Amino acid sequence: MSDTRTINAKCRCGNFDLPITLPAADFPLKAYLCHCDSCRHMTGTLALMVIFLKPTHFQPPQEVLDKLKSFVFSKRITQYHCPTCGCFTIASVKKYPDDDDSEISWDVATGTLESADASALAVQGHEHLQDTLDGGFADFFPKANGKPIDRWPSHFGDDDELPPFWRDEKVKRFSPTSTKPGDPSKRLHAHCKCGGVDLWVARPSAKSDISTAPLPDVIVPATGEEPADASKASEDAWWHRANGTKYLASLCVCDSCRLVSGMEVVEWTFVPIANISLDAEGKKPLDFTAGTLKAYKSSSDVTRYFCNGCGALVFYTCQDRPQVLDLAVGLIAAEEGARAETWLEWETSRLSYREDGIVRNKALVEGIEAALPEYKKAVMGKK
């Protein structure tokens, strides 16, 4: 048996392609999920999932780093993303932030790894859940291979763990099940970590109730299977939920979303372009060239957008529904919590493109699929 094992990491466009050779004894690699505000707004997803590699076991070649764009995340951390497709790839971490000669270790985004089966990855825990105010993605992924995943309020091992479906006291006044129309004058703020992407979302309204659009995979599987809930399979304003007071939100594990983000799961909400503005008053309409937005054409009919400063995932757009786009939920700064449940209703009957995810990361997909009905019952009050 070999003393080493090589696992490849890559992005969607192929600019980042890195074989990582480590001692075989390091496998399965320990993976951690961070839910802090900064990581959510830097990735555009509800959680950052990475592996920590020992400095004595891994240092990336300079020629790989030269192809990537760096972003100073903090005094300790510099992250690197692909300047073409936006994928978060790796990050350098100083042991001592104020020491220029400090030892540096490296994190690798797990979504870039070619393999994420039980022999490759072992999920250790969720950290910084207190930043989410509502538990965020941890309630969608509480177990892996049937084993509960640690749930830490701040750093790993600090304080007592938080229980499933925990909510901060200051947000308990918000009801995730409310269908009462929100104040139409208020807009939901969405922004990236560096501030180069700054957006505002209006409440669903007659303006957003636009004709029809093809149904997404989360409602009608692209495989041709029957939808899990046929009552939702209408092309009429399917992006509206809760009697037209909220937007549909979903979790996607398709290979393309994974490789343009570097994350295992991408959370999207579907919003008409007419309801997104560049200002809180709604006077400046969305402009795809505004700020640090950068486009990447991932297929002939799909264009994705990311922040060219910090690398945050921002939009998914496609030709067959030009008036309705996908907005990355991790950008959202809702006062009730990371899941923005007074604005969004989460689809629980299907994990979008689960057929991609189940092949590569069975523990993740099965863990989420087992958790969604529990979330629906505990948080949404539905059977």
pLDDT of residue 372: 98
Give Cα 168 to chain centroid, integer Å: 21
Question: What is the rounded distance in angstroms from the CA atom of residue 109 to the CA atom of residue 126?
Answer: 15
What string of pLDDT tens digits covers the 383 residues of the chain?
A: 679 999 999 999 999 999 999 999 999 999 999 999 999 999 999 999 999 999 999 999 999 999 999 999 999 999 999 999 999 999 999 988 888 888 999 999 999 999 999 999 999 999 999 999 999 999 999 999 999 999 999 999 888 999 999 999 999 999 998 888 888 889 999 999 999 999 999 999 887 877 678 899 999 898 877 666 655 656 788 999 999 999 999 999 999 999 999 999 999 999 999 999 999 999 999 999 999 999 999 999 999 999 999 999 999 999 999 999 999 999 999 999 999 999 999 999 999 999 999 999 999 999 999 999 999 999 988 76
Please tell me the predicted confidence (pLDDT) of residue 229. Answer: 64
Predicted pLDDT of residue 181: 83
Cα separation, 262 vs 201, in Å, equals 25
Q: Classify residue 243 as exposed, middle or buried by CB count within 10 Å of its CB (0-12, 13-18, 19+).
A: exposed
- Whole-number pLDDT of residue 383: 66
| Helix ranges restricted to H, 192-330 | 255-261
- pLDDT at res. 217: 93
Residue 184's pLDDT is what? 86
Report DSSP state, residue 285. Answer: B
Asked, as a colleague might, if the bond just before 176 is cis with ω within 30 of 0, I would say no
C-alpha dist (Å) from residue 119 to 5, 28, 181, 269, 363: 11, 5, 48, 33, 11
d(CA 307, CA 315): 10
Q: What string of DSSP letters covers 98-164?
A: T-TT--EEEEEEGGGBS--STTTEEEEEEE-GGGTSS-GGGGT--EETTEEPEE-SSSTTSSPPPPT
Would strands 302-307 and 4-10 be described as parallel, antiparallel, or unpaired?
Answer: unpaired
Taking the CA atoms of the chain, what radius of gyration do you get in angstroms? 20
In terms of C-beta density within 10 A (0-12 exposed, 13-18 middle, 19 or more buried), how is residue 38 classed?
middle
Q: Please tell me the predicted confidence (pLDDT) of residue 231.
A: 59
With contact defined as beta carbons under 8 Å apart, do 219 and 227 qualify? yes
DSSP letter, residue 216:
P
